[in-house]
Structure 1
Amino acid sequence: MNRCPWLPPELELYQQYHDSEWGVPSRDRRYLFEMICLEGAQAGLSWWTILQKREHYRKVFRDFEPEAVARMTDKQLEKLVLDPGIVRHRGKIVGVRTNALAWLELERREGSAVEWLWSFVGGKPIVNHRKVMEDYPAKTPESEALSKAMKKQGFTFFGPTIAYAFMQAVGMVDDHSVDCWRRG
């Protein structure tokens, strides 16, 4: 079974993520918020690091329900700096709550954060035709626009490269290689 060239074949959890989730278009509010936060946690690290810690992230960040995360106190967040089950970067930890507050404000203003996010790709996935690793860009004009807009809305740890990884992960972009069984 052919898979995307970026996928390490020896990592079963990574294969499960690729086969069941990566690139599947999602309009699930909680999932999109989760992926914004996890992609931000990845900044400067590998996705493999975050993927291994994902279940613990869900536990300590209240399954990424924006309202619940927004209510987390400074004391609760500070305690997480000592938690080896997540990336212990104070800015990234506090950033999850910052992102929850920005998400809720975005919903208040726009009505739907989900539809607002999807508007950056015209409401449907952009389908690319990647073959080899060199075909995969780190960012695109769409990810640069999304990153700029997210920062303006108050989101943290969401530069153009993180924005593109998010867009790929949640299926706003179909970047499965042309010979990948999961394409489409």
Structure 2
Amino acid sequence: MEGYIRDDLATANPDSVNPVDLLDWQDSRNQLLETTEGRALVDEWQSMAGFKTHLERVQTQARGIVNAVSEDRRAMRVFMQRFDDSMTEAARYAVYAEIADGPPSFVNPVDEDGLKKFGANQVGRELIDEWGPWAAEKVAAAWFRANRLLARMDDADALDFLDWFDDLKPNEAKTIIKSFVGD
């Protein structure tokens, strides 16, 4: 989760650094400005309520996801490194931009067929059960965000992201989906 959460984990004493310690906003901005994709993200956020505001939203949500995935620092580092290594910089920044945009304020709930489709796997079934009467709205929000995220990526980046997502453990996938719908 380069540019947002500590990136010196490889050289740091594993017991002395919490992997979800946040980078200072200016350090994050400086790292992002080193690449074309990063500069584009900084410019986008700066033009919309300010870079720091969007960065803090992304850092908070990323930290929450990583903390929910595991309490073990090593497992946290593995999760974060797998995210960074599985996709291009452009794909990672598309994810960050989507996190910054937040969940939609309104969606049309899915119908029964939509619930069946979402619940076709273990993660979907468990989320539908957890969401209870709010499942139709939560599923619609999850699909809205997934479609908006994938629209930010070219085809190759979208495939990398989907491969990464498909390789997640069930608890990791649930955590991310719940975070994306505002749980």
Q: Give the TM-score normalised by structure 1.
A: 0.29
Q: Which has the higher helix share?
A: 2
Choose between structure 1 and 2 for higher RCO, CA contacts under 8 A separated by at least 6 residues: 1
